[in-house]
Amino acid sequence: MEKELSMEMTPQEKFESVNILMKTLEEKYLMLGQVLSDIKRKGSFKIKGYKSFKNFVEVEYNLKSSLAAKIIKAFELYSEELDIDEAELKQIGFERLDMVRPFVEKAESYAEQEEWIECAKGMNTADLKDKIKEIRQQEKENKRSSKDLLIEQYLENMVTFFNCSRKELDFKLALYFQDADLDDLKEIIKERQRRFEDEATQGGQPV
């Protein structure tokens, strides 16, 4: 790819090239990203009377701004910032590069970035989706607090004990608490919450 291509083109030539490149997106996404990035950076869309880049791509080319943003980010990250060979990027393809882009962007080392790019290169789309899904699920698990775990454990135990649905459990709990002494209940909860937080802080397992 001619890296100076978009720099040499007039604004009108850039506008016309977008339509041409969109017809072969998977093959020409880097060039399209380069042109769109240049149009956005220089504000060339204002020549066409648009106040925002978002309106420009959506109205002028019927291109979702979210997709345009992904195409631009792919070019700026992989081609500009990481300077990866165009042939290698074409081999991987836009879809898989876009899938791993969030991980490449937040990677703490070049080695980690390379690892993700190798995953995109060596895995098919389905397997890559499964890998990313598994990692995101693990991240979600790691972010759960001890309170989240207690709630999940409590609800699971109660649903199993009463052999009912979650909605039916809410009804049973409402029946149980409707005549309870709320002042006494408040004090009990306060005391148990203090104990729970103390044990969680000490790294123990709250009861």
Quick one: CA dihedral 147, 150, 156, 159, positive or negative?
negative
Burial class (CB in 10 A: 0-12, 13-18, 19+), 206: middle
Q: Tell me the residue type at 48.
A: K
User: Mapping DSSP to helix (H, G, I), strand (E, B) and coil, where does residue 150 land?
Assistant: helix
pLDDT tens figures, 19-54: 777 666 667 888 889 999 999 999 999 999 999 999
Report pLDDT for 192: 86
Residues 81 and 107: their CA atoms lie apart, in Å, by 14
Report pLDDT for 22: 67
* Site of tokens 């969030």: 102
Burial 5-18 (b: 16+ CB within 10 A, else e): ebeebeeeebbebb
Report pLDDT for 12: 79
Per-residue pLDDT of the chain (207 residues; tens, 9 = 90+): 444 455 567 777 777 777 777 666 667 888 889 999 999 999 999 999 999 999 999 998 888 999 999 999 999 999 999 999 988 998 898 999 999 999 999 998 999 999 999 999 999 999 999 999 999 888 877 776 777 778 888 888 988 998 999 899 899 888 888 888 888 888 888 888 888 877 777 754 444
DSSP code of residue 24:
T
Report pLDDT for 5: 54
Report pLDDT for 206: 43
Residues 207 and 199: their CA atoms lie apart, in Å, by 9
Report pLDDT for 15: 78
pTM over 0.75: no
* Site of tokens 């100076």: 4
Contact 39, 45 (CB under 8 A): yes
Report pLDDT for 114: 93
Contact 121, 92 (CB under 8 A): yes
**Residue 46: CB atoms within 10 Å:** 14
